[in-house]
Amino acid sequence: MSTFITIFSMMVIGALIGGFTNFIAIKMLFHPYHEVKVFGYKLPFTPGLIPKRRNELSEKVGEMVTKHLLTPEVFKEKLLNPSTKSVLEETIKVQFNTLREKNYTIQNFVDRVDYPLEDKLNATLKETIKNKVDQYYDAHKQDEIQSLIPEEIYEKINAQVNRVTPEILNKIDEYLLSEKGEQDIQSMIEEFFEQKGKMVGMIQMFMTIEDIVARVKKELRNVVSQDKIKNMIDLQVQTEYQKWMSKPLDEILTSDRKDQAKTVISEELTSSVNVHKYLNLPLHELAPQLFTYMEGEGTERFINYVIQKIGDNISLILERMKLAELIKDQIDRFELSHLEKLVIEISNKELKLITLLGFVLGGIIGLFQGIIAIFV
């Protein structure tokens, strides 16, 4: 009986030692979190294994994930997967349908971030126009006006100038035939007779004022219709036109006038662009061809292009993302208690089996020790 009690006692003691030893070993993976000192001396095995090697562990995990798990080949294979393409296509089409059905505008998205986009665009547009005017003026202020006008427009201006002389003569003729012209001629003749006295006034004895006016009108119309008069007027018009076209820009448009002009131009052009209208126009009306294209074959082409580009540059993208460092930083930010809880939740059964194995092995060892102790 004493032999059985001895063997059983040694089995129990061995089991307790083995189980408790494994339990302590598991706990020492995490505990203590910090080193412990007694009388100024650091106790061995403090801090625990994982806290002590945390930096190396997180670094190795980052390297393992990037080199063996999330490799460029894995990303590219996943991107090229038909199911991925299908999900992306469906997502894009749903988004475009939502934009169309709810009449989303650019302003809707701007309002969400509370940004004065319209004011900024108008201010930028005005400033850009002013800068362009200044740059153009500084670059061409010594150039002749003629050289600054596009050839097509210059030809149209010449055609209009060639019509000036006929238009002038036509207006003179219309004036002479008008009631106003007749009244002015009569007024001038009467004034002339009053100034010249009785000798000239005697003419009135043979001709009435109306006859004189008619005769003067006829002679004036004859003069105006002569080619000599036409050529003379045309020569003066062309001379003044060529003289004006030969002047440098800064003589026609001085710096002060330029500043006034650029302000007016910037205001007018900005008003003509009407930024407010385009910001509040539904996107499907602002870019109808884009919506039609994306609802058809555009989505597939767009996704194929994006996937191809990402796939070709995935190595560079991951390198610039510094994924290994990102994983390491995230692990380093974990609280040790949270990390311990996470590990235990994942491997709780295995850790319990390890503890149980310690009891079993300890019990078996105790059994053999008891047998040996009895027979030796």
The pLDDT score that the predictor gives to residue 203 is: 56
Query: Looking at per-residue confidence, does 49 or 241 come out higher?
Result: 241
The answer to whether the beta carbons of residues 97 and 238 sit under 8 Å apart is: no
Q: What is the mean pLDDT of residues 52-80?
A: 72
pLDDT tens-place string over residues 85-112: 788 888 888 888 888 888 999 999 888 8
Q: Is 14 exposed, middle or buried (0-12, 13-18, 19+ CB in 10 A)?
A: buried
Does the pLDDT at position 198 exceed 60? no
Looking at per-residue confidence, does 21 or 323 come out higher? 21
pTM above 0.75, yes or no: no
Q: Are 15 and 362 in contact (CB under 8 A)?
A: yes
The predicted model gives 167-196 an average pLDDT of 80
Question: How far, in Å, are 47, 325, 332 from residue 338 at the CA level?
Answer: 16, 20, 11
% of the chain surpassing 70 pLDDT? 86
What confidence category does residue 321 fall into, taking pLDDT thresholds of 50, 70 and 90? Answer: confident
Most confident of 10-24, 54-68, 216-230: 216-230
pLDDT band at 195 (very low <50, low <70, confident <90, very high): low
Question: Residue 277 has what pLDDT?
Answer: 92
More confident position, 270 or 47: 270
Q: Residue 280 — very low, low, confident or very high, per pLDDT cuts 50/70/90?
A: very high
More confidently predicted of 283 and 27: 283
Confidence of residue 78 (pLDDT cuts 50, 70, 90): confident
Sign of CA dihedral 8, 12, 14, 15: positive
Three-class SS of the chain:
CHHHHHHHHHHHHHHHHHHHHHHHHHHCCCCCCCCCEECCEECCCCCCHHHHCHHHHHHHHHHHHHHHHCCHHHHHHHHCCHHHHHHHHHHHHHHHHHHHHCCCEHHHHHHHHCCCHHHHHHHHHHHHHHHHHHHHHHHHCCCEHHHHCCHHHHHHHHHHHHCHHHHHHHHHHHHHHCHHHHHHHHHHHHHHHHHHCHHHHHHHHCCCHHHHHHHHHHHHHHHHHCHHHHHHHHHHHHHHHHHHHCCEHHHHCCHHHHHHHHHHHHHHHHHHHCHHHHHCCEHHHHCHHHHHHHHHHHHHHHHHHHHHHHHHHHHHHHHHHCHHHHHHHHHHHCCHHHHHHHHHHHCHHHHHHHHHHHHHHHHHHHHHHHHHHHHC
Q: Would you state the pLDDT for residue 196?
A: 60
pLDDT in tens, 111-168: 888 889 899 999 999 999 999 988 888 888 888 888 888 888 888 888 888 888 888 8
Mean pLDDT for all residues in the chain: 79
> Which amino acid does the sequence have at 118?
E
Q: What is the pLDDT of residue 193?
A: 67
pLDDT in tens, 347-376: 667 777 777 777 777 777 777 777 777 765
d(CA 258, CA 136): 11
Mean pLDDT of 28-37: 71
**Bridge partners (DSSP) listed for residue 38:** 41
Q: Can you tell me the mean pLDDT for 161-180?
A: 86
Residue 120, pLDDT score: 92
pLDDT of residue 75: 74
Q: How far is CA 351 from CA 9, 63, 107, 149, 354, in A?
A: 26, 26, 58, 88, 5
**pLDDT at residue 200, as a whole number:** 52
